């Protein structure tokens, strides 16, 4: 193949639109699919907040949500926000309404985009003309907009009641759930009133699901406006790829899509060293993986290399791209950093972990208490700060240390430092988050036990007094389990999920680590990953008081302290805890827990081979959300694999009933075919498999690519059936194989 004639398959400049090019995010996508399935049937869906840093891949995820929502028969409305949309309520809600009506008319509602309704609407919002004949103007909001704009009253407040009436009318007209995707919601960060009204309108209007994207800086505002957020919005964080397998897929899929017969001829996927190097250099960030691969592939296209390899020339090309069109020497921060040696870059790393939020004394406290003086003495680090400030790389304002450059400077300097072997990050996180992250890292490093995992919850200020025992007691013995969730949603979820994952054990240990500084108090809770069976590692959690003795001593010398306590709690039985969750009035918590148990069912079965754990989690997911077809199907599959055919049949029939799209029905139909074949009813099984082939005749990969399937196959003598489990099968192709086996059996 002449690669020089191909377009470069690595398009780093644009988000991913093609599902075949989308890599990684398997866990996030499964969670999103769960909530889309929920929204397709529930009158009041759970909304999503997709949060991540700039260029983290949020828009690509939003594009995949659009594809998957449309595959479920939903109407998808895209609202791409810009700065102008946040100025007034009228401007913001016109953007929302306009996007919704155009999408509905594109689906032939209101006689389509050439109908009188849409034409009348355009006269109102473009020319501010209100028709005398309201027959074709069934909406109130456009009339309010036209009157306000015609009179120069652009600051008029939008009527919640009329807007809800209008969007309910659109929902009734299209007769399907509506998903509204808001991209770049950071423009609303200073527009609390818009967010509040958005909540008031859509939280009380059935049939609408909101998906918003933004950076973590938006989260505190959303959490405040929609508090508590778990009740109305499920946050899904989009960060760098954690797994190198995701980076491998990000490298491989564009080559496959470009039609290259064997991508391994261009890139060494076998030894995994090359994948690891790209993963570490890019920090798992999809945009930067694509950027690196673009230049590796270009060198092959140009005949300058035989294979895609990460070389200094490629890294220089990436750096050149980062300052393409810019005179790099006119950027004082970049020019100064380029003159730093490794020692200076290391000092920069130590001084920027809480950019714009911490003082030198705070940074020194964390670094010294947790790591001692192995990296720098205080005087050495203070002198390095003075040099970097004099060079214009850092600034100190009222004691707070900040990186002086902009976003480009930050990215460029990170790559430049990486070229010199220094992992430089400059995150804009508060001091307490830096402290919490550092404590978690120190616990794992100093204990030598990566199986010790922190709870998601972080105690800060008054929340640093929260106790796991109190939360567990409130969950089991309080007047309502909501009592526990009201005290702290994150910690209650951590306690519940930790106790559930530990079944059938009868107890679990939690280490409570409280770090008191002169400025704040932070508490972190740790437990052991029950799936980590590293010899001897299970004692490390209980050894934490001894392991953290030296950091505790150093903290006392800086007017701080570290307190470590180990508690043992009983694992509550299902009879104790599940009825409490059943009785909760809060649907958001129950939907979240069902989704998490569904995820754990998948992890137990697929990743761990733990059928017992998969069954327990699947039963809880189905208990909390009995009308979710994917949960019913997957739980049925676990039972099918264990030959519990009666319950499996009931669950498959439930999934078949709940799925509306025939293409989705194909999956439970296939499983019912396997079940019938296991019972020896070959003709009924054949009918199910043929139905699958009919339902998937023209379906795309959304409906065909599965994780696991059981397939019947003829025994060697052709007189019976054996059953094998396939990984990553194509549902249509597997059904066709099953048809051939059963036809062969019946002909025997």
For residue 351, give the nearest of 407, 413, 415, 408 by alpha carbon: 413
Name the more confident of 229 and 213: 213
**Of 584 and 611, the one with more pLDDT:** 611
Please say if the pLDDT value at position 325 is more than 80: no
On the 0-12 / 13-18 / 19+ scale of CB atoms within 10 A, 258 is middle
Mean pLDDT of 301-318: 83
Domains of the chain by residue range: 3-14+241-322, 26-237, 328-429, 432-577, 587-747
CB 266 within 8 Å of CB 6: no
Measured distance CA(510)–CA(591) in Å, rounded: 26
More confident residue, 501 or 359: 359
Alpha helices in 192-259 (DSSP H): 192-202, 219-225, 244-257
509 versus 412: the higher-pLDDT residue is: 509
Which of the four pLDDT bands, split at 50, 70 and 90, describes residue 535? Answer: very low
**What pLDDT, in 10s, does the model give residues 604-660?**
999 888 898 899 899 999 999 898 899 999 999 999 999 999 999 999 999 999 988
Asked if omega into 504 is within 30° of 0 (cis), the reply is yes
Can you tell me the mean pLDDT for 410-418?
A: 81
260-301 pLDDT, tens digit per residue, is 988 988 998 887 788 888 888 788 889 889 988 999 999 999
CA 721 to chain centre: 41
List the one residue out of 135, 171, 148 whose CA is nearest residue 94: 148
Instruction: Compute the average pLDDT of residues 724-737.
Output: 93
Question: Ramachandran region of residue 461, left (φ > 0), alpha (ψ -120 to 50) or beta?
Answer: left
* 662-678 vs 629-641: helix crossing angle, rounded to 10: 20
Q: Of 38-42, 420-424, 690-694, which gets the smallest average pLDDT?
A: 38-42
Q: Report the SS3 class of residue 122.
A: helix
> 469-478: long-range contacts at Cβ-Cβ below 8 A with a sequence spacing of 24 or more?
469/567, 469/569, 471/495, 472/499, 472/569, 472/572, 475/572, 475/577, 475/580, 476/572, 476/576, 476/577, 476/580
Question: Quick one: tokens of 746?
Answer: 């019946």
The first and second tokens of residue 164, run together, are 């809800």
CATH class of the domain whose range is 328-429: mainly alpha
Per-residue model confidence as pLDDT tens digits over 61-78: 999 999 999 988 899 999
587-747 is classed CATH 1.10.1740.10: no
Query: Would you call 453 helix, strand, or coil by DSSP?
Result: strand
Give φ, ψ of 390 to 5 degrees: -65, -30
pLDDT at residue 47 is higher than 70: yes
Tens-digit pLDDT profile for residues 103-154: 999 999 999 999 999 999 999 999 998 887 767 778 899 999 999 999 989 8
Q: Are the CB atoms for 675 and 645 separated by under 8 Å? A: yes
- Please give the pLDDT value at position 230: 54
3-class DSSP assignment, residue 468: helix
Rounded to two decimals, the pTM is 0.69
- Tell me which fold the domain 26-237 belongs to: Rossmann fold (3.40.50)
Q: HSE-up of 175 (CA within 13 Å, CB side)? A: 3
Contacts of 491 (CB under 8 A, 6+ apart): 455, 457, 459, 466, 468, 471, 525
pLDDT at residue 196 in the model: 79
Instruction: Report the percentage of the chain scoring pLDDT > 90.
Output: 45
The confidence score (pLDDT) of residue 356 equals 94
How far, in Å, CA of 216 to CA of 415, rounded?
Answer: 23
Tell me the residue ranges of DSSP E strands in 335-465: 358-359, 394-397, 400-403, 452-454, 459-460
Summarize the chain as % helix, strand, coil (round to 5): 55, 10, 30
For the stretch 454-481, pLDDT in tens is 998 888 877 788 888 888 888 777 666 6
Contact yes or no for 566/601 (Cβ under 8 A): no
Q: Which residues contact 455 (CB under 8 A, 6 or more apart)?
A: 490, 491, 494, 495, 498, 524, 525, 526, 527
391 or 40: which leads in pLDDT: 391
β pairing state of 178-183 and 208-214: parallel
Is 534 a residue whose pLDDT tops 60? no
Least confident of 19-33, 100-114, 422-436, 489-503: 489-503
What's the CA gap between 40 and 211, in Å, rounded?
14
- Is pLDDT larger for residue 585 or for residue 492? 492
Helix axes of 26-39 and 629-641: crossing angle, nearest 10 degrees: 120
Please state, in angstroms and rounded to a whole number, the distance separating the CA atoms of residues 470 and 478: 10
């Amino acid at each position: 193949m002449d690669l020089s004639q191909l377009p470069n398959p690595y398009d780093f400049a644009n988000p991913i639109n093609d599902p075949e090019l989308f890599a990684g995010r398997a866990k996030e996508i499964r969670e999103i699919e769960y909530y889309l399935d929920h929204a397709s049937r529930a009158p009041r869906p759970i909304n999503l907040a997709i949060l991540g840093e700039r260029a983290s891949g949020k828009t690509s995820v939003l594009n995949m949500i659009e594809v998957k929502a449309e595959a479920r028969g939903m109407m998808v409305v895209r609202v791409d926000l810009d700065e102008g949309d946040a100025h007034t309520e009228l401007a913001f809600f016109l953007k929302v309404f306009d996007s919704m009506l155009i999408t509905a008319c594109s689906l032939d509602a209101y006689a389509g985009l050439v109908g009188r309704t849409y034409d009348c609407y355009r006269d109102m919002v473009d020319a501010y003309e209100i028709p005398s004949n309201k027959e074709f103007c069934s909406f109130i909001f456009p009339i309010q907009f036209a009157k306000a704009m015609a009179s120069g009253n652009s600051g008029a407040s939008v009527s919640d009641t009329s807007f809800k009436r209008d969007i309910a009318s659109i929902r009734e007209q299209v007769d399907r759930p509506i998903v509204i995707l808001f991209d770049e919601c950071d423009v609303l960060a200073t527009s609390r009133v818009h967010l509040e009204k958005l909540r008031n309108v859509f939280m009380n209007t059935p049939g609408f699901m909101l998906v918003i994207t933004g950076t973590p800086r938006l989260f505190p505002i959303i959490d405040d406006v929609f508090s508590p957020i778990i009740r109305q919005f499920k946050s899904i964080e989009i960060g760098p790829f954690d797994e190198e397998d995701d980076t491998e897929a990000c490298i491989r899929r564009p080559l496959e899509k470009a039609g290259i017969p064997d991508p391994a001829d261009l890139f060494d996927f076998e030894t995994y060293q090359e994948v690891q190097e790209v993963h570490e250099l890019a920090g798992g960030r999809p945009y930067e993986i694509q950027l690196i691969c673009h230049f590796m592939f270009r060198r092959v296209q140009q005949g300058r290399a035989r294979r895609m390899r990460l070389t200094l020339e490629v890294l220089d090309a990436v750096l050149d791209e980062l300052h393409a069109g810019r005179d790099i020497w006119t950027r004082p921060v970049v020019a100064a950093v380029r003159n730093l040696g490794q020692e200076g870059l290391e000092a920069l790393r130590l001084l920027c972990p809480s950019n714009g939020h911490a003082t030198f004394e705070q940074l020194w406290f964390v670094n010294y208490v947790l790591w001692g003086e192995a990296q720098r003495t205080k005087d050495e680090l203070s002198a390095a700060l003075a040099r970097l400030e004099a060079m214009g790389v850092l600034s100190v304002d009222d004691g707070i240390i900040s990186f002086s450059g902009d976003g480009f400077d930050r990215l460029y300097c990170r790559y430049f430092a990486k070229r010199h072997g220094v992992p430089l990050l400059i995150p804009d996180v508060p001091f307490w988050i830096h402290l919490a992250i550092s404590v978690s890292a120190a616990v794992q490093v100093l204990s030598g036990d990566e199986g010790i995992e922190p709870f998601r919850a972080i105690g800060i200020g008054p929340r640093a007094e929260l106790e796991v025992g109190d939360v567990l007691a409130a969950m089991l013995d309080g007047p309502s389990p909501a009592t526990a969730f009201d005290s702290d949603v994150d910690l209650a979820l951590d306690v519940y999920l930790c106790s559930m994952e530990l079944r059938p054990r009868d107890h679990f240990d939690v280490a409570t680590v409280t770090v008191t500084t002169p400025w704040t108090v932070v508490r972190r809770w740790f437990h052991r990953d029950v799936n980590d069976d590293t010899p001897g590692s299970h004692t490390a959690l209980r050894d934490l008081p001894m392991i953290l003795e030296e950091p505790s001593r150093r903290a006392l010398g800086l007017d701080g302290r570290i307190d470590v306590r180990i508690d043992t709690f009983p694992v509550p039985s299902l009879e104790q805890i599940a009825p409490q969750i059943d009785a909760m009035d809060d649907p958001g918590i129950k939907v979240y827990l069902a989704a998490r148990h569904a995820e754990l069912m998948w992890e137990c079965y697929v990743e761990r081979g733990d059928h017992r754990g998969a069954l327990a989690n699947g039963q809880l997911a189905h208990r909390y959300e009995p009308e979710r077809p994917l949960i019913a199907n997957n739980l049925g599959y676990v039972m099918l694999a264990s030959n519990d055919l009666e319950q499996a049949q009931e669950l498959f029939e439930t999934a078949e009933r709940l799925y509306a799209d025939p293409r989705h029905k194909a999956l439970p139909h296939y499983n019912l075919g396997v079940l019938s074949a296991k019972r020896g009813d070959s003709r009924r099984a054949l009918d199910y498999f043929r139905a699958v082939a009919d339902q998937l005749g023209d379906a795309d990969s959304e409906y065909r690519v599965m994780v696991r399937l059981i397939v019947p196959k003829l025994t060697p003598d052709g007189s019976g059936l054996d059953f094998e489990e396939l990984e990553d099968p194509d549902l249509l192709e597997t059904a066709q194989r099953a048809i051939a086996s059963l036809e062969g059996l019946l002909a025997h």
